[in-house]
Amino acid sequence: MQAKLIFIEGLPGSGKTTMSGKLYESLRQICNNVKVYLEGDLPNPINFSGFACLNHKEFDYICNKYKDINFNNALWGKDYVLVPYAVFKTRFKETEKYNTELQSFLRTKEFCYKPSSPISINRYKEIMTDRWYQFIKNVMPSDVKIFDGDFFQHPIDDMLYNYNASIKQVIDYLLNIGDIIKNINSKLFYISQNNIEDSLSRIAEERKQYIYTDPKMIRHWKKRKIIEFKAMSKLSLHSCVIDNSNYDWDNVFSTITNSIYNVGNINR
């Protein structure tokens, strides 16, 4: 049985994106249907930064007003439509998709990435849960999908930033998602460094972005790590914590690939 879903998690600078990309390059040599979803890339079936959340009436309105625009990439739910309006590439440099008037309207309806008028947290969780159900229905038996920070990082950040959610609210949501995918062969790898401040200082110098050394942000990431470890202790999803305090990327990659190959999930 193949590993269908592989989640790579950790704080900023832990090596999530690097390891996700390397794992993709390794697995694509032996799997025809391997796909990686790196941070900031679209499309992504479970990450919706740069999506507007509209009701059906609002969506009909923009379709009628902007008849020359193709909205085929919109994602439909029973009582909502998610419309992509911006692409966030590496380091979150945003590329807008539409004309100024439509772009401005859709921005006011941003679903999860720093929304100006957030929907309720219960509504957020309802829609995210529905998208997980929709995603799981389309996973084929031969698929292998790698996700860069999409199980923990993005939804936890959304709930903490936008709603000041309690630890219990966040963990309850994650456990619910874990139940949705429990029948699909999945594995979560968490790359960890013991000294969070040193790790963030290192990535701040590499990226020349000193938000990583902002005391408020450091407190946020420390809280997120506490939530992530608590969630891993309760999730039925199989998880593996990899200590990368020495920044030994080869060891991290070897640990991930050996875990995937040796348990018989993926045949060489």
Domain shared by 28 and 72, yes or no: no
Decide if 113 is inside a domain.
no
Domain shared by 177 and 253, yes or no: yes
Q: What crossing angle do the helices spanning 215-234 and 196-207 adopt, rounded to 10°? A: 120
Per-residue model confidence (pLDDT) at position 264: 46
CATH of the domain at 27: 3.40.50.300
Per-residue model confidence (pLDDT) at position 3: 66
Per-residue model confidence (pLDDT) at position 1: 41
Q: Cα-atom radius of gyration of the chain, to the nearest Å? A: 19
Domain shared by 83 and 138, yes or no: no
Decide if 212 is inside a domain.
yes
Decide if 167 is inside a domain.
yes
Per-residue model confidence (pLDDT) at position 88: 59
| Residues 86-128 pLDDT 10s | 865 544 455 556 778 998 999 999 999 999 999 999 999 999 9
Domain shared by 131 and 173, yes or no: yes
Domain shared by 31 and 84, yes or no: no
Torsion of CA 40, 43, 46, 48, to 10 degrees: 60
Enter the tokens of residue 146: 């790698």
Contacts of 176 (CB under 8 A, 6+ apart): 125, 129
Domain shared by 22 and 76, yes or no: no
Enter the tokens of residue 18: 């690097």
Domain shared by 215 and 252, yes or no: yes
Domain shared by 33 and 130, yes or no: yes
75 vs 70 pLDDT, higher one: 75
Per-residue model confidence (pLDDT) at position 92: 47
Last residue of a domain, one of 78, 107, 136: 107
Domain shared by 246 and 147, yes or no: yes
Of 42, 37, 28, 41, the closest CA to residue 6 belongs to: 37
What gap in Å lies between CA 241 and CA 136, rounded to an integer? 25
Last residue of a domain, one of 62, 82, 107: 107
The residue range of the domain holding 81 is 51-107
Domain shared by 96 and 228, yes or no: no
Residue linked to tokens 């460094």? 193
| Residues 156-180 pLDDT 10s | 999 999 999 999 999 999 999 999 9
Domain shared by 133 and 257, yes or no: yes
- Number of structural domains found in the chain: 2
Decide if 229 is inside a domain.
yes
What gap in Å lies between CA 71 and CA 198, rounded to an integer? 44
Decide if 205 is inside a domain.
yes
Q: Which residues of 127-148 are buried (b: 16+ CB within 10 A; e: fewer)?
A: bbeebbeebbeebeeebbbbbb
Decide if 268 is inside a domain.
no
Decide if 115 is inside a domain.
no
Decide if 96 is inside a domain.
yes
Domain shared by 94 and 127, yes or no: no
